[in-house]
């Protein structure tokens, strides 16, 4: 590996500057991605290793990030478990058949689901070959609670009210479903590592909708199970978006190497809660990528000073939005590279 | 006033049990509201004092809450300031002409906007007469940042990305707009109190989308200005939804009598951050209103024990959802009445 920054930051080893990557860095703000998006539909892009590879490499080549992240989607897991997952233009994901009962859950594929994601492992092998050690590759999956949200609600939602009601009013079904998703996810992520992923990130995009008490029931055990089993294979980053109240607990009680934080917590509070026990990743507000490149540079330097440059991975607090000018994304990355302690 | 619980809890005076009301208690879960909703469109319901009065009283009579809250909408303020506000069935609010520039802001009505809301003051007078001292009446408005979100974005949104970009990249325009909204809101709320509102709640429904640093710029000064000016007229409840990081500051530095909290913070953490300086209001997760009445009772009693029964107003952490059975809403309220310290 030529660029060790991410792996060192995850191990807590000293670095001369923190590593930087951006959630959704292979995405719609990049004109080269938009070209492929016009030619191939979403699942063709995800399921064709050559396309997934090309898209994954674009921000490495064009923006200069310190890590590649597999181009894929968290909903390939429910798909591999047998659910129909559609992507409706301008509306987002749609699952016509949702999960509501024990019998729905029992029909979900479990043992062989990870086998159906061979195209992901093929993409990873191809990406690793093309990267040729330039930067590490991050594999990923959705966390079980977030996957449950889509399986039960059937589409995106502001509060995932139905999914949360399902957990609260049918806890046995919820835990049965969460366990099944967890088992598949662990197999899937281990196979991503075996195919070449250097780091694993687990996205709990909707865990912040849960009260601390419900988080401890419906999100925490499964996040910890995944982190602890995967940590034997590769460093794990957990990103329970919005669940600031869980940072201390996850820092102490999980084997995650890093925790992601969104922008709704100050760097100082995040550091205080985790007390130097884990690497932190985040948390630039993507809305600030609409500032001038000079102001972005200033704010990135301030953010690094606030987190401190060690045990820290510079990232956004959420995915980069499609309307960010490419030069501003570059300014974000360049700011990290020009940082002097 | 026959029921002093809310006013006592707001003043920090001892009560034998905490008061209870529910955000959106006059809403779609009530069959009697749905009947009026089928007959009259939204703005007819809001702008006709007799209808607003009837709707406001429904939960007092049917559910037995300890306070009435004016039936209205936070978007009557942008409407009074001259913007076209439409309500599109199944989609929510839509403002065809959004605010983007200084000249857009200069065209907004300011001095006479509060005069245009005479129908609200008329509704309040009618409600007070009908209530006849049974329970206090809560008036309300949206906080300036939340109103800005709708004025700039033009509709509901998951992250109000455009509105936040507007604040960040055009801070002069943002502050000019926020000041103008604040001035109108203060006049509007003072006139609500003069018409008879006993308590004022300010909803900052989207402040939780802001980083602590942006909150301190774009939400905090205006919330504090409103709380401080209104507190000379009536007790004020500030509800900066999701902005847990601001609780300590607002408890110390605003003249609000109470702070609302959503369910994504534990009662203990909320109490610790505010250190007994203000009354707290919240924070039952509406998803838990789908439990059995027995389980709701148990959870409400637990919640009261965790917050402690003094300086506390029992409420939800967000509006009651349309699918909650009426008997469960009643169980929520009854649980508070049966609470024994």
Q: Any CB–CB contact under 8 A between A247 and chain B?
A: no
Whether the CB-CB separation of A190 and A115 falls below 8 Å is answered with no
Q: How far is A242 from chain B (nearest CA, A)?
A: 9
Residue in the structure block whose two tokens are 């390939």: A76
Whether the CB-CB separation of B142 and B132 falls below 8 Å is answered with no
Beta strands B92-94 and B86-88 are antiparallel
Active-site entry in A24, A164, A271, A311: A24
**Closest by alpha carbon to A236, among A208, A198, A274, A206?**
A198
* Measured distance CA(B266)–CA(B242) in Å, rounded: 12
Q: Any CB–CB contact under 8 A between B148 and chain A?
A: no
Beta strands B137-142 and A258-260 are unpaired
Window 305-334 of A: residues touching B by CB (8 A cutoff) are 317-318, 321
Instruction: Please say if the pLDDT value at position A40 is more than 90.
Output: yes
> In the predicted model, what is the mean pLDDT of residues A56-72?
98
Inter-chain touch A213–B168, beta carbons under 8 Å: no
Give chain A positions within 8 Å (CB) of B211.
263-264, 266, 285, 317
Which residues of chain B fall short of a pLDDT of 70? none
Please tell me which residue of chain A has the smallest CA distance to B161. A287
Task: Please tell me the predicted confidence (pLDDT) of residue A341.
Answer: 82
pLDDT digits (tens, 9 = 90+) for A259-286: 999 999 999 999 999 999 999 999 999 9
- Parse chain A into domains and list their residue ranges: 5-337
Torsion of CA B179, B180, B184, B186, to 10 degrees: 10
Q: How far is A196 from chain B (nearest CA, A)?
A: 35
How many A-B residue pairs are in contact by the CB < 8 A criterion? 74
Give chain B positions within 8 Å (CB) of A209.
264
Please name the member of B165, B288, B291 whose beta carbon is closest to the beta carbon of A287: B165
Task: Please tell me the predicted confidence (pLDDT) of residue A339.
Answer: 97
Residue in the structure block whose two tokens are 């070449």: A196
Complex ipTM: 0.94
Whether the CB-CB separation of A69 and A137 falls below 8 Å is answered with yes
Give chain B positions within 8 Å (CB) of A317.
211
Task: Please tell me the predicted confidence (pLDDT) of residue B98.
Answer: 98
* Measured distance CA(B78)–CA(B37) in Å, rounded: 23
- Read off the DSSP letter of residue B101: S
* Measured distance CA(B9)–CA(B235) in Å, rounded: 10
Q: What confidence tier does A89 reach under pLDDT thresholds 50, 70, 90?
A: confident
Inter-chain touch B212–A286, beta carbons under 8 Å: no
Inter-chain touch B242–A264, beta carbons under 8 Å: yes
The angle formed by the CA atoms of residues B39, B43 and B49, to the nearest 5 degrees, is: 85
* Measured distance CA(A282)–CA(A290) in Å, rounded: 17
User: What percentage of residues in chain A have a pLDDT greater than 70?
Assistant: 100
- CATH classification of A5-337 is 3.20.20.210, yes or no? yes
CB within 8 A of B326, min separation 6: which ones?
B29, B30, B31, B62, B63
Q: What confidence tier does A338 reach under pLDDT thresholds 50, 70, 90?
A: very high
Instruction: Bin B71: left if φ > 0, else alpha if -120 < ψ < 50, else beta.
Output: beta
Please name the member of B164, B167, B264 whose beta carbon is closest to the beta carbon of A211: B264
pLDDT digits (tens, 9 = 90+) for A156-196: 998 999 999 999 999 999 999 999 999 999 999 999 999 99
Q: Is A17 a catalytic residue?
A: no
* Measured distance CA(A309)–CA(A340) in Å, rounded: 9
Task: Please tell me the predicted confidence (pLDDT) of residue A316.
Answer: 98
Inter-chain touch A161–B287, beta carbons under 8 Å: yes
- Chain B interface mutation, best of A204, A211, A295, A298, highest count of B Cβ atoms under 10 Å: A211
CB within 8 A of A300, min separation 6: which ones?
A284, A314, A332, A335, A336, A339
Q: What confidence tier does A90 reach under pLDDT thresholds 50, 70, 90?
A: confident
> In the predicted model, what is the mean pLDDT of residues A97-120?
97
- Structure pTM? 0.96
Give chain A positions within 8 Å (CB) of B210.
264
> In the predicted model, what is the mean pLDDT of residues A98-114?
97
Query: Phi and psi dihedrals of A10, rounded to 5?
Result: -70, -35
* Measured distance CA(A197)–CA(A6) in Å, rounded: 13
Please tell me which residue of chain B has the smallest CA distance to A262. B211
Whether the CB-CB separation of B77 and B46 falls below 8 Å is answered with no
Instruction: Please say if the pLDDT value at position A332 is more than 90.
Output: yes
Residue in the structure block whose two tokens are 């007469």: B129
User: How far, in whole angstroms, is CA A80 from its chain's centroid?
Assistant: 19
Helices marked H in A14-91: 31-39, 42-47, 49-62, 76-80
Which helix (H) or strand (E) covers residue B18, if one does?
Answer: none
């Amino acid at each position: 590996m030529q660029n060790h920054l991410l792996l060192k930051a995850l191990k807590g080893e000293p670095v001369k500057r923190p590593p930087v990557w951006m959630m959704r860095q292979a995405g719609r703000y990049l004109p080269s991605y938009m070209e492929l998006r016009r030619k191939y539909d979403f699942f063709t892009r995800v399921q064709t290793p050559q396309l997934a590879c090309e898209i994954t490499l674009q921000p490495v080549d064009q923006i200069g990030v310190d890590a590649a992240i597999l181009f894929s989607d968290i909903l390939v897991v429910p798909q591999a478990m047998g659910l129909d997952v559609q992507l409706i233009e301008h509306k987002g994901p749609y699952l016509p058949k949702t999960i509501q009962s024990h019998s729905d859950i029992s029909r979900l594929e479990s043992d062989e689901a990870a086998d159906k994601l061979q195209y992901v492992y093929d993409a990873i092998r191809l990406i690793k070959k093309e990267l040729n050690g330039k930067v590490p590759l991050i594999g990923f999956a959705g966390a079980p609670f977030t996957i449950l949200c889509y399986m039960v609600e059937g589409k995106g939602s502001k509060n995932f009210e139905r999914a949360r009601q399902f957990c609260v009013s049918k806890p046995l079904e919820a835990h049965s479903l969460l366990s099944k998703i967890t088992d598949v996810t662990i197999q899937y992520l281990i196979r991503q590592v075996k195919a070449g992923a250097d780091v694993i990130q687990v996205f709990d995009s909707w865990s912040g909708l849960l009260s601390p008490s419900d988080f401890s029931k419906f999100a925490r055990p499964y996040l910890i199970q995944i982190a602890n089993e995967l940590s034997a294979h590769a460093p794990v980053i957990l990103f329970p978006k919005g669940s600031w109240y869980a940072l201390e607990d996850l820092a102490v009680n999980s084997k995650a190497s890093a925790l992601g934080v969104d922008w709704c917590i100050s760097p100082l509070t995040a550091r205080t809660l985790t007390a130097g026990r884990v690497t932190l990743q985040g948390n630039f507000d993507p809305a600030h990528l609409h500032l001038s490149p000079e102001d972005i540079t200033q704010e990135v330097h301030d953010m690094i000073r606030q987190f401190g440059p060690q045990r820290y991975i510079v990232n956004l607090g959420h995915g980069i939005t499609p309307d960010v000018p490419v030069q501003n994304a570059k300014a974000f990355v360049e700011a990290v590279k020009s940082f002097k302690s």
